[in-house]
Amino acid sequence: MLLRFFKGTGPGVIFMIGITMLAVWLSAFFKIQGHFSLYFDLEPMPLYGILASLTGTNPLPGVILTVLLVALMATLTVNLNNSLFFINKRTFLPALIYILISGLFPDYQVLNPAIFSAMFLMLAIRRIMDSYRVQGISYSFFDAGLLIGTGSLFYANIIWFGILIIIGIAILRMSNIKEILIAVIGLATPYVLLFGTYYLIGKDLDALFSVIRYNMFIMQTAYVFSRFTIAALVVIGLITVVSIANLLMVMNKKKIQSRKTFSLLIWLFIISLAVYLIFSSVSVEMIWITAIPISYIIAHYLLFSKSRIIPEIVLTLLFLMVFLVQAVYFR
């Protein structure tokens, strides 16, 4: 059975995840000339603007770089669980699920700033969790803020996930105003350096401020969902709700660190949905970030569900819905 195979941790599982990624991203290469400039290419954030200028007008280097970043993100999802062991099993399922979800919007399988910021956010989550049981003030919150602030220089709206650091402080430690201040300083540091650099080299500070303001509040985004994409999102949404419900029912049975890690991931999921719903400058590129908590939560359900048949059906549905979306786009 499909799930029984992917529950394994041998080289064959890694190989098949690689094949799955190739299948999910095949249309990105075959329809590369059909790719269009996305709205965040109009007035890009500074670091993303530099990157986009390096890849040039040819979309191929951008697609290749994005594939490599997705592979890196999949690796980071596995590494986080291996380090914190909050799922309580060694597994590659989070990587598989992240790769599958990356194929939900084929026309966004191009160079985009959200995938870069997702990488910084993953590293920030690790730094937040590193503060667990640290005696005295934990300066890892500064690192987490610095990572999220740097990620926002690629994709501005990742800055709202600075709230996750405050939530992390509340979850992991007794509330400490000094640690909150440290986190805020970390968030602000990349912008202090950026504006300082612009000032020193004589670039227009007002123009920089306008770019940031445009990306966060003014930019209007719109995405036309196909019937197949809507169907896939409904299925994955239902699977996610069931997985969260299952997780909450067993949360109290888990070790303290596992509970706190999953709590942080649930808040990450909530914040990503809120940012998507509240800000007009945010569109479906948020999937790169929302997929992080979803990957772990669904993986936990697939591994620990008491039913033998339903998890097999769930994973099969995930494969079918993503490949259906890809097939319709590919034709």
At residue 30, the pLDDT reads 82
pLDDT band for position 37 (cuts 50, 70, 90): low
Q: How far, in Å, CA of 105 to CA of 284, rounded?
A: 8
Burial of 270 (0-12, 13-18, 19+ CB in 10 A): middle
- Summarize pLDDT for 114-146 with one digit per residue, the tens: 999 999 999 999 999 999 988 888 899 999 999
Residue 33: predicted pLDDT: 57
* pLDDT score recorded for residue 129: 96
pLDDT in tens, 267-291: 999 999 999 999 999 999 999 999 9
Q: Give the tokens for residue 32.
A: 């590369």
pLDDT at 303 over 80: yes
Q: Within 10 A of 45 (CB to CB), how many other CB atoms are there?
A: 28
- 85: helix, strand or coil: coil
Return the half-sphere exposure (C-beta side, CA atoms, 13 A cut-off) of residue 202: 0
**DSSP one-letter code for 117:** H
For residues 18 and 28, give the distance between their C-alpha atoms in angstroms, rounded to a whole number: 16
Annotated domain spans of the chain: 2-330
pLDDT of residue 222: 81
Q: What is the pLDDT of residues 180-223, one digit of tens each?
A: 999 999 999 999 999 999 999 999 999 999 999 999 999 888 88
For residue 175, the model assigns a pLDDT of 67
pTM for the structure as a whole: 0.95
For 79-109, letters b (16+ CB in 10 Å) and e give: ebbeebebbeeebbbbbbbbbbbbbbbbbbb
Nearest to residue 294, comparing CAs of 243, 258, 260? Answer: 243
